[in-house]
């Protein structure tokens, strides 16, 4: 089946109504068992031409994403990236931590008129970010959200690559923190790191030695220590390092 090509169908009416800075927002890293959740917000110029090849980052290869991410940054009016650390995730839960990462990304744009966000409507989001539209499958259907999905995925993959150099046993450069067999076996052999989401039941079950099928279910979806706070802060720094927001 051919990949869906996102369009400007949602941006164009907003541009016509005078909303110039339309921010597409997406996240990556909800399902993995370790690492920060990362969100990106991207504002493209009004009436822009789409960049050939940009689509939902999940349908792209790593090489394609790495090639197109800098093109998106050059063409964009503004790009913001935000992260919610492992400590944030364990404190708030993944649902609220994801929205925190989105708000942090939006805050780094230097202003916006309207937000287009992937997924369902979010409680209290309009009070926090202003006018927004939630679009189910937005990363596949909406061009600015697809751009954000590519940027977020590249940032998080690079973060996991860097963490993998410190913790080479877990294969994070290949599995991005998802509960693959390789990752599960490494947890059994070496235990958890400060970057694992230790509050997650699936990890607690695995460490207790009784899987109950939880990791097998998670694995299908995709490839707590005293220093946890420091490690979580470092994860945020890695996620955001070298990112320049243009206004």
3-state SS, one letter per residue, for 3-24? CCCCECCCHHHHHHCCCCCEEE
CB of 167 within 8 A of CB of 193?
yes
CB of 163 within 8 A of CB of 235?
yes
Does the CA dihedral 108-177-179-93 come out positive or negative?
negative
Per-residue confidence in pLDDT tens, the chain, 247 aa: 677 999 999 999 999 999 999 999 999 999 999 999 999 999 999 999 999 999 999 999 999 999 999 999 999 999 999 999 999 999 999 999 999 999 999 999 999 999 999 999 999 999 999 999 999 999 999 999 999 999 999 999 999 999 999 999 999 999 999 989 999 999 999 999 999 998 877 777 777 774 444 455 444 334 433 344 454 455 555 545 543 333 3
pTM to 2 decimal places = 0.85
> Cα separation of 185 and 205, whole Å?
14
> Cα separation of 52 and 222, whole Å?
26
> Cα separation of 185 and 197, whole Å?
16
């Amino acid at each position: 089946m051919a990949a869906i090509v996102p369009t400007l169908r949602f941006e164009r009416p907003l541009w016509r109504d005078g909303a110039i800075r339309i921010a597409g927002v997406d996240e990556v890293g909800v399902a993995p068992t370790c690492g920060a959740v990362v969100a990106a917000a991207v504002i493209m110029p009004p009436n822009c031409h789409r960049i050939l090849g940009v689509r939902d980052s999940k349908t792209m290869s790593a090489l394609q994403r790495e090639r197109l991410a800098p093109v998106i940054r050059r063409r964009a009016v503004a790009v913001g990236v935000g992260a919610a650390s492992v400590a944030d995730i364990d404190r708030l839960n993944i649902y609220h931590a994801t929205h925190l990462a989105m708000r942090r990304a939006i805050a780094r744009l230097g202003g916006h008129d309207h937000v287009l966000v992937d997924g369902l409507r979010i409680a209290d989001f309009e009070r926090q970010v202003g006018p927004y539209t939630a679009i189910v499958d937005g990363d596949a259907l909406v061009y600015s959200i697809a751009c954000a999905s590519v940027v977020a995925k590249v940032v998080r993959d690079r973060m996991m690559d860097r963490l993998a150099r410190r913790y080479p046993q877990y294969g994070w450069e290949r599995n991005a923190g998802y509960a693959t067999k390789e990752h599960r076996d490494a947890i059994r052999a070496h235990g958890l790191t400060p970057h694992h989401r230790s509050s997650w039941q699936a990890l607690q079950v695995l460490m207790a030695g009784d899987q109950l099928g939880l990791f097998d279910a998670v694995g299908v979806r995709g490839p707590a220590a005293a220093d946890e706070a420091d490690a979580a802060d470092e994860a945020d720094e890695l996620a955001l390092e070298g990112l320049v927001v243009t206004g």
